[in-house]
A and B are shown apart, each in its own frame.
Chain A
């Protein structure tokens, strides 16, 4: 019997899956939730209240592009009123002066802005949309409003070699932090795996540059490196453990232990329309499925790494082996690691990766 979990710290509120960008690395599902199925303002407000009562202290207002929700200031106010620290995770498109003022007035605390590349045309090629100027402007407005600014850059074959450019962009735009997050191959990104997967040599060079910048910049800019689990042959401590730290509420009210878990076939995740968040967190079969260590197979069960990586990523295990309860094949000790070796070797031997598949049309 797994012992009851402590309260969750964070809520990822996926307000919508609609987005003006069409990034090849998008980890949202291939089939996006339609706008008419999204939770209402009142339903979200109730989610924030329940989350606060449960012990959540942080909420990331994300998507898709959360600015596409016209009621975003009301949602920020509801989350703030529930005692939650609110961070907007945005493409920056649609973040004008008036909108930002309404959001800060409602209690918005910080902004995380996505960037694709330091070179505008490469950035727009990755994003599949005109976006660079809007992002630059959004960054300036956030700084002028005095809010902390973080950048997030998803790393892959087309931008790992210009890590220096991303760091300089963060400095130029006055960011406090940049998250350099290697691609997770979920949802749409899985379709583009061959286009996105970097070579081991690219990863090694980028890692060296991160160390260089950290030594040089000190406290001036926080650099967060989210490791490429497939190339490193090291399972990631996904979500800090299943149902251990945070929960995700999808646009249609589905509650998930991780944003990609909607792809797991037998999870049967509950919805906020049907159940209380506290019951979902503590009791639901979806949140208990891979909580703790009882579910672990060998070699995880007898491995010292299990307390570090919590068995790795369940969604990746399912995507690559067809069984979510297998050891994450990213891990060098996994029986199915040869599957991943073949992918990584394939990338290293491909001089010209294929073109991106872009999403067509909105949800």
Chain B
């Protein structure tokens, strides 16, 4: 008995990256030093300027375009489209975002 041929499968569109802190990475505000921090097993990353606000939008639900769009609304005129994706990719390369 021959099986009917399987229907052709369309390759799924690549899912957009929805950045979120990697497991074991904790984002928190430090009220003592008045700054945002990324905490890792053996490391503390002190976040400058609005980096913490950017990372707070990385909730695993928003994709990168949504993060950029949200920041563009909050900071009209700021070069978010140019800078934020590069920043997020850099953190992914470090293993701090996934």
Contacts and interface: CB of A to CB of B under 8 A. Distances in A.
A177 B44 contact: no
Contacts of A83: 28
Interface in B18-69: 23-24, 26, 28, 30, 32-33, 37, 39-42, 44
A58 B42 CA distance: 8
Contacts of A150: 41-42
Contacts of A33: none
Given A85-B39, A87-B41, A147 B32 contact: no
Given A7-B33, A148-B23, A219-B95, A57 B28 contact: yes
Contacts of B37: 57
A85 B24 CA distance: 9
Contacts of B28: 57, 83
A109 B33 contact: no
A188 B28 CA distance: 39
A66 to B, nearest CB: 16
Given A9-B44, A148-B23, A148-B24, A58 B39 contact: yes
Nearest to A219: B95
B44 A57 contact: yes
Q: Which of A55, A146, A148 has the most chain B CB atoms inside 10 A of its CB?
A: A148
Question: On chain B, which size bracket covers the interface?
Answer: 10 to 19
B30 A110 contact: no
A110 B95 CA distance: 15
Q: How large is the interface on A (under 10, 10 to 19, 20 to 34, 35 or more residues)?
A: 20 to 34
A112 B32 contact: no
Central interface residue in B26, B39, B42, B44, by most chain A CB within 10 Å: B42
A147 B40 CA distance: 11
A219 B22 CA distance: 15
Interface string A171-212: 000001100000000000000000000000000000000000
Contacts of B24: 109-110, 147-148
A58 B24 CA distance: 12
A219 B96 CA distance: 12
Nearest to B30: A57
Contacts of B93: 219
A147 B23 CA distance: 6
Contacts of B30: 55, 57
A7 B35 CA distance: 13
B92 to A, nearest CB: 11
A291 to B, nearest CB: 19
A55 B41 contact: no
Contacts of A102: none
Contacts of B44: 9, 57-58
A62 to B, nearest CB: 13
A7 B31 CA distance: 12
A146 B33 CA distance: 30
A83 B28 CA distance: 8
A219 B93 CA distance: 9
Given A9-B44, A147-B24, A55 B39 contact: no
Contact of B26 (A7, A53, A109): A109
A54 interface: yes
18 contacts: A53-B32, A54-B32, A55-B32, A57-B28, A57-B30, A57-B37, A83-B28, A85-B41, A109-B24, A109-B39, A110-B24, A112-B41, A146-B23, A147-B23, A148-B41, A150-B41, A176-B41, A177-B42
Given A57-B37, A85-B39, A177-B41, 4 more contacts: A55-B30, A57-B30, A147-B24, A148-B41
9 tightest A-B contacts by CB?
A148-B24, A55-B32, A110-B41, A85-B39, A148-B41, A110-B24, A146-B23, A7-B32, A109-B24
